Amino acid sequence: MTAATTSHPGAARVGIGGPVGSGKTALLEQLIPRFAARGTRLAVITNDLVTREDAERLRRSGLIAPERVLAVEAGACPHTVIREDPTLNLDAADLLEERFSPLDLILLESGGDNLASTFSLELVDHWLFVIDVAGGGDIPRKKGPGVVQADILIINKPDLAPHVGVDLDAMVAEAKAVRGDRPVLVTNCRSGEGVDAVVEAIARDVLFDGAA
Amino acid sequence: MADASSLLLALQMGDSAFPSGGFGFSWGLETLKHDGLVHDGAGVTAFARAQLRWRWACADRPVLRAALAAKGDLDRLGALDREVEAMSLAAEQREGSRRLGRALVRSHVTMGTPGAAAFQAAQRAGRVLGHLPVAQGVVWGGAGLDVTGAEAVSAFAVAAGIGQAAVRLALVGPVEAQAMIADLRGVIATLLAQPCPERPHAFVPAAEIAVMRHESGDARLFAN
């Protein structure tokens, strides 16, 4: 786990970033029931860019109590709200902890952004970056800070590879090459394939619980 | 001109990069654009002038001044907070002011600014609400800003915040925004030279209606 620059009491905070349409909300929808089944006490913050759509989608999903989902508007600045000035997200996390203490985990979904997006470690303890096969097989070798620096890189939508002319094995190999020892996981967030490995990694590295 | 250390302190407190969440708020401008009521630089300038003259100078300024004078007295600060709460008609205006106050105080707690931790503890205990001008008085006073510096930084933050929001809403270009802010510096200087009202009051109906309409609107780049 990456050491946070500013420690905080209470729930662990895990960020989920990545480009528009890569599958961040779909990943959340797969993670929430898995953590709930483990007994993890959970809340969610979304940073919708233009609407409240992601927050409303989760509230209506039946996967989590609606009041445990907070939306933070990003003022058209998706980078800023998770990195340069994360105070609105920190405030939302404080509120969730006040209202639902004790919490074990707060998942924080960034607004759709580009490959330069990274989370401040004043906001989160650990962060995931989600890219998808349909976005292009060349994304990993572009070495965007999100791809390189995230604690876990997730490559989503592997089933689309043959339809968009992407060599999935080569994409994964290039991702591993640019990330050194940091993990690269492949998920299909529509079917749930590969998501258990994400839960196991978060449980092990963030919640310090090996019983995933 | 202020001495160098005072000037540097004011520059840091007023820096738009200071983590305090202001970039997420438009105070009605997003809805006014969406409704076609503000569509160019002249409209943005008129909006900013109204916010400065009829909200900041007559409401935020006396609250800020009283919060500085309270010097951490939580009973006085709580009474100020309740007055701001009662004066704030639109829900997103009230909530926005509280959110920004909490965000500003949070950063100052982390930095170790004197008085910030006690105020945050009182916020969390429900003793104070932590509206923005009250929080500004607490933390800026703790950081060492005097009344003149605090008022200048507070008013400038209103002008600069509107300018930045207008750029992101594509109402003005970035240089046009700076030209607008340069014009507004004159407005602020004039306001600062006038006596500060003893009791806060405000009259910005178009902005307040816009903030209320924003609560149920689809356009949500900003929190209000």
Predicted confidence (pLDDT) per residue in A164-201, tens digit: 999 999 999 999 999 999 999 999 999 999 999 999 99
Calculate mean pLDDT across residues B192-210. 92
Q: Does some domain include residue B15?
A: no
pLDDT reported for residue A77: 81
From A56's Cα to the closest Cα of chain B, the distance in A is 12
Cβ-contact B192, B152 below 8 angstroms:
yes
Q: Is B108 on the interface with A (CB under 8 A)?
A: no
Q: Measuring CA to CA, which residue among A167, A169, A131 is closest to residue A148?
A: A131
Residue B14 in any domain: the answer is: no
Give a yes or no: residue B220 inside a domain: no
Whether the CB of A101 is below 8 Å from some CB of chain B: the reply is: no
- Of the partner residues B21, B165, B223, the one whose CB lies closest to the CB of residue A87: B21
Q: What is the pLDDT of residues A119-166, one digit of tens each?
A: 999 999 999 999 999 999 999 999 999 999 999 999 999 999 999 999
Q: Checking DSSP bridges between strand A69-71 and strand A42-46, what pairing results, if any?
A: parallel
Average pLDDT over residues B1-13: 90
Q: Is residue B222 part of a domain?
A: no
Instruction: Give the span between the Cα atoms of B99 and B92, in whole angstroms.
Output: 10
A73, A79, A89, best to mutate vs chain B, most B CBs in 10 Å: A73
The number of folded domains in chain B is 1
| A88 interfaces chain B, CB cutoff of 8 Å | yes
Mutant choice from B30, B123, B220, B224 vs A, greatest count of A C-beta within 10 A: B220
Q: Smallest CA–CA separation between B107 and chain A, in Å? A: 7
Kindly indicate the confidence band of residue A48, based on its pLDDT and cuts at 50, 70 and 90.
confident
HSE of B72, CA atoms in CB hemisphere, 13 A: 12
For residues A151 and A14, give the distance between their C-alpha atoms in angstroms, rounded to a whole number.
10
Please state, in angstroms and rounded to a whole number, the distance separating the CA atoms of residues B120 and B98: 12
Residues A91, B23: C-beta atoms closer than 8 Å: no
Q: Which of A103-107, A128-132, A133-137, A208-212 has the lowest mean pLDDT?
A: A208-212
Task: Identify the CATH number of the domain in which residue B149 sits.
Answer: 1.10.4190
**DSSP three-state, residue A44:** strand
pLDDT of residue A211: 52
For residue B24, the model assigns a pLDDT of: 84
Query: Within an 8 Å CB–CB cutoff, is residue B53 touching chain A?
Result: no
**Segment A53-101, tens digit of pLDDT:** 778 888 888 889 999 999 898 877 888 899 999 999 999 999 999 999 9
Mean pLDDT of B112-130: 96
Task: Indicate if the pLDDT at residue B1 is higher than 90.
Answer: no
Asked whether residue B30 is assigned to any structural domain, the reply reads: no
* Closest-CA distance of chain A to residue B191, Å: 28
- How does pLDDT run across B162-187, given as a tens digit for each residue? 999 999 999 999 999 999 999 999 99
* Chain A to chain B Cβ contacts (< 8 Å): 69
Query: So what's the pLDDT on residue B213?
Result: 87
Does the structure's ipTM exceed the value 0.95? no
pLDDT at B4 over 60: yes
Q: How many CB atoms lie within 10 A of CB B2?
A: 13
Q: How far apart (Å, rounded) are the C-alpha atoms in residues A163 and A23?
A: 18
**How far is the C-alpha of A95 from the C-alpha of A65, rounded, in Å?**
15
> B169 lies in which domain range?
39-214
Give the per-residue pLDDT at A51: 67
In chain B, % of residues over pLDDT 90: 81
Beta-carbon contacts of residue B34 (< 8 Å; ≥ 6 apart): B217, B219
Place of tokens 């003005």: B172
- Whether residues B221 and A74 touch (CB distance < 8 A) is answered with yes
Indicate the pairing of strand A184-187 with strand A152-156. Answer: parallel
CA distance A1 to A208: 10
B104 or A74, which is more confident? B104
Nearest CA in chain B to A6: B110
Which ranges in A67-186 belong to alpha helices (H)? 78-82, 87-100, 145-149, 161-164, 168-179
**DSSP for residue B3:** -
Mean pLDDT of B152-162: 96
User: Considering chain A, what is the average pLDDT of its residues?
Assistant: 90
CB-nearest partner of B168 from A75, A88, A122: A75
**Is A81 in Cβ contact with B102 (below 8 Å)?**
no
Q: Over 90: is that where the pLDDT of B211 sits?
A: no
pLDDT bucket at A210, cuts 50 / 70 / 90: low
pLDDT at A212: 46
Q: What is the pLDDT of residue A2?
A: 41
- Which region, left, alpha or beta, applies to residue A75 given φ > 0 means left and ψ of -120 to 50 means alpha? left
Tell me the residue type at A143: K
From the CA atom positions of chain B, what is the Rg in Å? Answer: 16
The pLDDT mean for chain B works out to 93
Contact call for B24 and A6, based on CB within 8 A: no
The DSSP letter of residue B57 is I
Tell me the nearest-neighbour CA distance from A83 into chain B, angstroms. 10
pLDDT over 70 at A4, yes or no:
no
Which of A6, A48, A98 lies at the smallest CB-CB distance from B220? A48
Query: Of the candidates B70, B48, B56, which has an alpha carbon nearest to the alpha carbon of residue B134?
Result: B70
Mean pLDDT of B114-124: 97
Among A87, A95, A122, pick the best mutation site for testing chain B contact (most B Cβ within 10 A): A87
Tell me if B221 and A49 make a contact (CB, 8 A cut-off).
yes
Which one of A76, A80, A87 has the shortest CB-CB distance to B221?
A: A76
| Position B190 in a domain | yes
In this predicted structure, what is the pLDDT of residue B215?
81
Question: Token pair of A141, please?
Answer: 């070798």
In this structure, which amino acid lies at residue B71?
K
DSSP state of B22: G
Query: Which of A77, A91, A98 faces B23 most closely, judged by CB atoms?
Result: A77
Residue A6 confidence (pLDDT): 53
